[in-house]
Structure 1
């Protein structure tokens, strides 16, 4: 396949056309973001690391549900953990995911509030 001309992108963005493996991985990530509770948990983790109980309280979801979402996210490599005594704290695995979540929710905010989109 011939190489296509690069298109302008955000600083630090990869400029080459994605192959099947990269498209599949991005699709997998978007599928994990497609649950409202999971997205809420990820948004909270984009702000700061947290434990299951705090996340459940802030999401108005059961500890069991939040634990199951976190297990899926951890298995997928999107969140990491650290143990402090008997508590386990969760955090996002990287800044790419943080920016993706914030951009998705910023986009949603513009759509819901009726604000004009911007570049």
Structure 2
């Protein structure tokens, strides 16, 4: 059975002109994929509050230090977290305010949906 469709060429052309470039779509999808993992999201949520080291995060998350380190490597590679070295200690924090803003907007969204 053939389905008929109506296409508004003006709308399609307008959206095509302003559509996010494909390479950016891929990068954005990767960020959401990383933040879609509950363990990584818990780490990001903790770092939203305070800069922490692997040991602190391990205790907080109740995950092995190697498990936390693995998640942090993925987050750092995508510029979601950054590091600061103090002597032998390495501290992790959110890379910039945009990550915190994304979390804030997501929280607003879920609270809006609950009402």
Scaled by the length of structure 1, what TM-score is found?
A: 0.74
Which has the greater radius of gyration?
A: 2
Pairwise CA RMSD: 2.0
Structure 2: runs of 5+ lacking an equivalent? 1-11
Aligned residues: 102
2:59 counterpart of 1:57: yes
Structure 1: runs of 5+ lacking an equivalent? 5-15
Scaled by the length of structure 2, what TM-score is found?
A: 0.76
Aligned counterpart, 2:87? 85
More helix by percentage:
2
Instruction: Check whether the contact 1:82–1:89 (CA below 8 A) recurs between aligned residues.
Output: yes
List structure 1 runs of 4+ shifted beyond 6 angstroms: none
